[in-house]
Amino acid sequence: MYEIVVEVGDDPIAEAVFRALEKEVKFPRGGIEVVKRGASLVIIGRASDVTSLRSLANTIFRALYVIRGVEAI
């Protein structure tokens, strides 16, 4: 199993987005999990192969990019 861990910090918008994505980004070869560690939000992507992990990483980083863009407005 391959894993990517991204710590976001305390961001309520990111938490809402990733909690929604957590339910949508589940498939037989992997998915994401959202956990709180203290005040920080941690997104964990787990996949059975590197190609699926790359896909999860792209999903996570694309969502973060959009969230940051919306917060900047």
**What residue spans define the domains of the chain?**
2-72
Tokens 């190609």 found at = 51
What type of residue sits at position 62?
R
In the structure, what pLDDT confidence band is assigned to residue 71 with cuts at 50, 70 and 90? confident
Q: Is pLDDT of 3 > 90? A: yes
Q: Is pLDDT of 55 > 90? A: yes
The CA distances from residue 19 to 16, 49, 51, 73, in Å, are 5, 23, 23, 22
* Domain at 2-72, CATH homologous superfamily: Alpha-D-phosphohexomutase, C-terminal domain (3.30.310.50)
Query: CB count, 10 Å around CB of 70?
Result: 10
Distance CA(25)–CA(30), nearest Å, equals 8
In tens, the pLDDT along 19-50 reads 999 999 999 999 999 999 999 999 999 999 99
CA-based Rg of the chain, rounded to a whole angstrom?
A: 12
Q: Is pLDDT of 7 > 90? A: yes
